[in-house]
Every structure is written in structure tokens, then in C-alpha cells.
């Protein structure tokens, strides 16, 4: 079945989530700069992160092993839980990075993007869950990392059996979102 068009809405949702991550990460970093001692920054960030992870254990790891849990939430029509996981994974990632913990944003944003992408199955019944999951992963990581070809190649290996068409469409959507945001930011700088 040709499902490339089913990747559009998940890509837009996940792209928006990745943009939110960029904004939030900047804000959390700005807040963390108030702590002039690095140990205080690590301590406060870690305490906030620990509270969040204790409240929502599914957020504890990078997310790639927890992807089946997202599909279970779709099967249970637990849309609010799915949306909450997407948003809270972004918050946890921003806290972790700003507190100085090792790791990066790729896998956590792939998880958050998958959750955001799967929300499209509620908004557009009949959307293939596998396509939505893959589209969300590609879009979120493309927007965050800004390396669309590398993201597609990584996802081909991470998600064997996924049709290439939806991955390419989603990568294009993520790239377009990045270009639009960059153009808008440049226009705002020139105007002000």
C-alpha cells in the first residue's frame, strides 16, 4: 500500500514538537545560567529531572526500547497519555541536557516524535500506525539535527521494513519547516 501521504500530518505534528523542544531547551539553558556554580546547575536540573522521571517512569531512558509502549497506547486509544508522553519527553530531554548529563537529543526526540506522529492516527482514522510512528521519528529528528539525509539513512536501519517513500516525504517536511523558521528568524533580525 502506498502510504506516503499518510506521513504528512504526523510529520507536521512532530516538527512542531521539535520546534517546541528547541525553544524550551533554549529557555531552560537560559534559566540554568543563573546558577554560577556548575554543581548547583547539575543539582537543580537533576532534582527536577528525577522528580519527572519518578512520576513518569516511561521517560527514564532514551526511548528506543519503549516504542512498543506507544503502539499499545494507540491500541488503547489513550490519546492524552500519548500527547503527555510526547511533551514530557521533550521537557525531560531539555532538563537533562541543560543539567549537563551526557547524551544527546537524537533518541529522545525520536521517541517524542513517534508519540506525536502516532497522535495523527486519532486525528485521521485509517492512518497506518507504522507510517505515523516512522514519520514522527524522522520529522522530529530532522528538525532538531538538521541533517535530513543522515536521518533517513539512520531510520532505514532503525526501522527495517519501513517504506522509503514516507521517510523521504517526512524528511522533506522537516527540512521545509526548518527552512521556514530560519527564514522567519532572519527576517525578524533584519527588521528589528
Q: How many domains, the chain?
A: 1
* Boundaries of domain holding 13: 4-191
**Domain containing 83 — which CATH number?**
1.10.3080.10
**Which 3 state secondary structure label does DSSP give 95?**
helix
Whole-angstrom Cα distance, residue 79 to residue 122? 7
Rg (Cα) of the chain, in Å, rounded?
Answer: 17
Phi-psi region of 177 (alpha: psi -120 to 50; beta: other; left: phi over 0): alpha
Interatomic CA distance for residues 33 and 47, integer angstroms: 16
Instruction: Write out the chain's pLDDT in tens, 192 residues.
Output: 467 788 999 999 999 999 999 999 999 999 998 988 989 999 999 999 999 999 999 999 888 788 889 999 999 999 999 999 999 999 999 999 999 898 889 999 999 999 999 999 999 988 999 999 999 999 999 999 999 999 999 999 988 888 888 899 999 999 999 999 998 888 888 887
Amino acid at each position: 500500500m502506498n502510504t506516503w501521504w499518510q506521513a504528512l500530518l504526523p510529520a507536521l505534528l512532530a516538527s512542531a514538537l521539535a520546534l517546541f523542544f528547541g525553544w524550551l531547551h533554549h529557555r531552560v539553558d537560559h534559566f540554568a545560567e543563573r546558577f554560577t556554580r556548575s554543581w548547583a546547575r547539575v543539582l537543580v536540573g537533576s532534582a527536577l529531572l528525577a522528580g519527572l522521571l519518578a512520576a513518569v517512569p516511561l521517560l527514564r531512558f532514551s526511548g528506543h526500547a519503549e516504542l512498543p509502549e506507544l503502539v499499545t497506547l494507540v491500541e488503547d486509544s489513550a490519546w492524552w497519555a500519548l500527547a503527555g508522553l510526547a511533551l514530557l519527553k521533550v521537557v525531560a530531554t531539555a532538563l537533562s541536557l541543560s543539567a549537563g548529563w551526557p547524551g544527546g537529543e537524537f533518541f529522545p526526540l525520536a521517541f517524542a516524535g513517534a508519540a506525536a506522529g502516532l497522535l495523527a492516527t486519532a486525528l485521521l482514522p485509517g492512518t497506518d500506525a507504522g507510517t505515523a510512528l516512522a514519520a514522527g521519528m524522522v520529522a522530529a529528528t530532522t528538525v532538531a539535527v538538521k541533517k535530513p539525509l543522515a536521518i533517513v539513512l539512520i531510520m532505514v536501519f532503525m526501522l527495517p521494513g519501513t517504506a522509503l517513500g514516507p521517510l523521504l516525504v517526512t524528511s522533506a517536511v522537516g527540512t521545509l519547516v526548518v527552512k521556514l523558521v530560519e527564514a522567519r528568524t532572519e527576517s525578524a533580525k533584519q527588521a528589528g
